[in-house]
Amino acid sequence: MFRYLTAGESHGPALVGILDGIPAHLRLDVGAINDTLARRQGGYGRGARMKIESDSVEFLAGVRGGETLGSPVAVVVRNRDYLTPKVRALMDPLTGSGDPLTNPRPGHADYAGALKYRQRDLRNVLERASARETAMRVCLGAICAQFLDAMGVRTGSCVTRIGEIAVDLDDWDQEEVERSDVRCPDSEAGRAMIEQIDAAKRRGDTLGGQFIVRVDGVPVGVGSNRQAALRLDGILAGAVMGMQTVKSVEIGLGEELAATPGSAAHDTFAYADGGVVRASNRAGGIEGGMSNGQPIVLRVSAKPIPTLAKALPSVNLHAGTEAPAGVVRSDVCVVPAAAIVGEAMVRLALMQPLLEKYGGDSMEETIDNLQRSQAAASRLFVPPA
């Protein structure tokens, strides 16, 4: 019912993407999509590449008059770096050439990909493995955000750790997040994070961290416990784990629940104001593989990126000798940008389970299905007077 596909290399001509399954008559705000692309390019600790690119979306198919047609939506984001003669000579799809890259970076796809795809030039692996590819995922996710908004579903994110500096947040002001260079609403912690990034840059090092993605407005019952692949927690965690930098995903209290007794681990029920309420949200909005009406909360840990200015020990695969890892233009810390990508992955992952439950060929039909479902659910139980 819904699927997406991306293609493109980090320094190739462009990134391209296709969304299949968006209902007809979704009116698109192109400015909002470009604003989201700009947010991905921001964040303290980014490298020189972000000064070159100025990402914007171009629509190739599936949209007319600013509305989706119900057919596959095809988009492109150009790589401005490709326009420089040196990069174009290296990355032209038909004539590209140049000295091979031979020294794999620990923590990157270089080595495993070279053996998997039988590539003697690591560039043929790393160009696609680069996080530059996430610009298209963010673009597609920004389109999905406009569908989700029409369904009453909204996502937000914030950074809670960079390096050793961490802050404990259960709630936050998204406007404060957007004003922070590190996407942290705690200004004191944000200043300390910036100092950590500056110190790492002086050492030729990189930093990882943690961020939270929160989703509000998901109706009860999205996802399923009928088969493992349909569980909403597995769908969302798998999508976020598909990011280049992510090493763990927790939902709700996550790891903390392992040390919490059952009497203090779950979200108790009560009646208030004529409806069912919960005393807490330790489950992070998902129980039994299904949304439970609470905000969905994912806590995500990202590793330090593997391209260091002070190169790690490695080998030269052609010479059979020890050598420093390859050094290419890179960032010191991508955690603020990773939070934006995390939002995009959650948006993309929510599309299929939402469309399975409420989907129609047009937005009018889809929203009507949602409203009918919610009205029927409200009649299922009658709370006590």
80-93 pLDDT, tens digit per residue, is 999 999 999 999 99
Mean pLDDT of 226-252: 97
Q: Which of 47-56, 247-256, 281-290 has the lowest mean pLDDT?
A: 47-56
Place 50 in a pLDDT band, splitting at 50, 70 and 90: low
Task: Tell the CATH superfamily of the 3-378 domain.
Answer: Chorismate synthase AroC (3.60.150.10)
Mean pLDDT of 6-22: 97
Cα(22)–Cα(61) distance, rounded to whole angstroms? 12
120-129 pLDDT tens trace: 999 999 999 9
Q: What is the rounded average pLDDT for all residues in the chain?
A: 94
Place 73 in a pLDDT band, splitting at 50, 70 and 90: very high
Residues listed for the chain: 385
Mean pLDDT of 120-143: 96
275-301 pLDDT tens trace: 889 999 999 999 999 999 999 999 999
155-184 pLDDT tens trace: 999 999 999 999 999 889 999 999 999 999
Place 328 in a pLDDT band, splitting at 50, 70 and 90: confident
Angle at 146 between CA 143 and CA 148, to 5 degrees: 110
Place 382 in a pLDDT band, splitting at 50, 70 and 90: low
Looking at residue 53, its pLDDT comes to 67
Q: Is the pLDDT of residue 373 over 60?
A: yes
Looking at residue 49, its pLDDT comes to 54
Cα(232)–Cα(114) distance, rounded to whole angstroms? 34
Closest CA to 294 of 248, 241, 251: 251
Looking at residue 275, its pLDDT comes to 85
* Segments making up each domain of the chain, as ranges: 3-378
Mean pLDDT of 269-276: 88
Place 52 in a pLDDT band, splitting at 50, 70 and 90: low
Looking at residue 94, its pLDDT comes to 95
